[in-house]
């Protein structure tokens, strides 16, 4: 066990020395891998933030029921009682036209427009919360309420959020395809790098085989090289995403002040960061294994 650990430590330290001997080439390879990983990983972060934003807005879907302008208050009260008794309605809140006009007037930049109106153009309305928040149930309830007497229009406020979710799913599929392509590119970069190293160290490998070195022993240093290079590329991708989010959040801080709300993009959490590093190291190891498996067998001691 001690000898096995010593062999692995020797291979690991030897790999680090080879990185140190070619710092420029190492930085270029790590940079290429980092950029290749940062693009799909950054898009995944953007989609996760957008999905969280959409879920927050659509977490409590509501149906707005607008009454006809000539609806008397007594008819509105009857509709309110009917809504409370409906089995598919969890809650219903009446919004009189006077309150709606006051809320519209309170919005920034609209006070002058409201003051210029000769009469109140807004109808009485109900804000309805359904017991079943599934899209199909919400649409059925909206259509049913829209056919009630004295109801001019019924609008499902969360419909746009569901369309956004469908778009996010499609974008997620596109990101998965892009991530697969860039993963193959990472494997190709590692494959080619290891191939060049094997060709450069061909004589050294032949001598090692002559004195009894086994293929697993020779293969070990190359596998370490691929895994460490992939891990460094994953760390570079993490830094690129972190820097991009830092710049974007500094710009969103001004936007948050204008809209009086907190808008901030979240970075990868600990689990996702570890997954990114493990994924990049695994791809580097796999590319190195493919290259060594193909080229090492072609070298025989003379």
Which residue from 110, 37, 66 is spatially nearest to 282, judged by alpha carbons? 37
Closest CA to 33 of 236, 222, 242: 236
Give residue limits of the domains in the chain. 2-57+162-298, 62-157
d(CA 37, CA 235): 10
Residue 231 makes CB contacts below 8 A (sequence gap 6+) with 277, 280, 281, 284
> The tokens of 34 are what?
């980092």
Residue 293 neighbours by CB under 8 Å, 6+ apart: none
This prediction's pTM: 0.63
* Tens-binned pLDDT, residue by residue, of the chain (302 aa): 666 666 667 667 767 777 777 788 788 888 888 888 888 888 888 887 777 666 655 556 788 889 888 888 888 888 899 988 999 898 888 888 888 777 766 764 566 666 666 677 788 898 888 888 777 788 888 889 889 998 888 888 665 666 766 777 787 788 888 888 888 888 888 888 888 877 777 777 777 677 766 767 777 888 888 888 889 989 999 999 999 888 888 777 776 665 555 667 788 888 888 998 998 999 888 888 888 877 666 665 55
Torsion angle defined by CA atoms of residues 95, 96, 99 and 104, in that order, rounded to the nearest 10 degrees: 80
Angle between helices 270-295 and 23-57 in degrees, nearest 10: 140
Q: Say how far apart CA 145 and CA 124 lie, in whole Å.
A: 15
CA distance 218 to 282: 19
Interatomic CA distance for residues 183 and 296, integer angstroms: 24
CB 152 within 8 A of CB 70: no
CATH class, domain 62-157, is: alpha beta
């Amino acid at each position: 066990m001690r000898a096995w650990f010593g062999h692995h430590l020797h291979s690991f330290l030897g790999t680090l020395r080879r990185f140190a001997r070619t710092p420029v080439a190492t930085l270029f390879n790590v940079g290429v891998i980092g950029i290749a990983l940062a693009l799909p990983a950054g898009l995944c972060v953007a989609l996760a933030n957008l999905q969280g934003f959409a879920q927050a807005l659509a977490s409590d879907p509501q149906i707005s029921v607008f009454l006809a302008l000539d609806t008397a208050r007594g008819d509105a009260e009857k509709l309110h009682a009917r809504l409370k008794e409906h089995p598919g309605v969890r809650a219903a809140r009446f919004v009189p036209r006077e309150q709606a006009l006051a809320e519209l007037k309170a919005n920034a930049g609209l006070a002058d427009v409201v003051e210029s109106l000769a009469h109140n153009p807004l109808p009485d309305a109900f804000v309805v919360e359904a017991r079943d928040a599934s899209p199909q149930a919400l649409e059925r309830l909206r259509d049913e309420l829209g056919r009630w007497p004295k109801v001019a229009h019924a609008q499902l406020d969360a419909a746009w959020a569901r369309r956004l979710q469908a778009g996010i799913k499609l974008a997620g599929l596109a990101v998965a395809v892009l991530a697969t392509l860039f993963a193959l590119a990472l494997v190709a970069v590692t494959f080619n790098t290891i191939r060049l190293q094997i060709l450069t160290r061909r004589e050294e490998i032949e001598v090692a085989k002559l004195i009894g070195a086994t293929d697993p022993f020779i293969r070990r240093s190359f596998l370490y090289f691929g895994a460490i290079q992939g891990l460094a590329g994953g760390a570079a991708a993490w830094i690129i995403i972190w820097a991009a989010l830092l710049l974007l959040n500094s710009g969103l801080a001004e936007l948050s002040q204008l809209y009086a709300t907190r808008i901030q993009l979240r970075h990868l959490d600990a689990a996702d960061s570890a997954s990114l590093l493990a994924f990049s190291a695994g791809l580097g190891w796999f590319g190195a294994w493919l290259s060594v498996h193909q080229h090492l067998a072609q070298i025989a001691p003379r």
